[in-house]
Amino acid sequence: PTCSRFGISEGELRKKVYIGFSNIGEFNNIIGAINGTHIILETAPLKQSEIYWNRKKKYSIQCQSIVDHNGIFIDYEIGWPGPVHDAKVYQNSYFYQNYRTLIKGWDYLLGDSAYPLSSFLIKLFNNPVIDLQTHFNVTHSLHCVVIENAFGKLKNRFSCLKGLFVKKISTVVNLTEYCIILHNFLETNNDS
């Protein structure tokens, strides 16, 4: 797998991300939303193809990402086999391995039910039983939709990521990373 290095530095950029997420709804100190997507392989990989066969009966690799309020990819982990659970990818990610230096003060990351709840990762209530929990889940979802939208924009912009005819996993990983880099460049320059 390959990964980026967490892209929110100290200072002004971090404040912009805080403000961007707080403008979405009622949550403060959010530094990103995390989720994963599958990069589908239309043909079996050259080596160990069986480990890339996912539950949807397709070959794939995982692309786990953290995005800011604008859908800019600030961290990503690419290359884990498709069947690997999001929580395992997360616990082996650069971000998680280095959270002690990346999380500042009351920073929070938002994730779905696949991710473990922690002092810096907020997830949905699995079965909300009171109105306050339901309201929390709705607000959480309003913030987390940025990661789903980012994946959608990425795959629509670079439709090759919807199904690659590539046999070398390293090529798939590199191509996915290049697409993310280009996506970020185009998004930051308001080029649709």
Q: What pLDDT does residue 26 have?
A: 86
pLDDT in tens, 16-59: 999 999 999 889 999 999 999 999 999 999 888 999 999 999 99
Query: Is pLDDT larger for residue 122 or for residue 11?
Result: 122
Instruction: Yes or no: say if 30 and 143 are a contact pair by the CB < 8 Å rule.
Output: yes
Domain of 62? 2-190
**From CA 23, how far away is CA 18, in angstroms rounded?**
9
**From CA 185, how far away is CA 59, in angstroms rounded?**
29
Q: What pLDDT does residue 9 have?
A: 66
Instruction: Yes or no: say if 107 and 15 are a contact pair by the CB < 8 Å rule.
Output: no
How many CB atoms sit inside 10 A of residue 135's CB?
12
Query: Is pLDDT larger for residue 115 or for residue 191?
Result: 115
How many CB atoms sit inside 10 A of residue 94's CB?
17
The share of the chain scoring above pLDDT 70, in percent, equals 95
**From CA 113, how far away is CA 123, in angstroms rounded?**
6
Q: What pLDDT does residue 157 have?
A: 97
Q: What is the mean pLDDT of the chain?
A: 92
Number of domains in the chain: 1
Instruction: Yes or no: say if 30 and 109 are a contact pair by the CB < 8 Å rule.
Output: yes
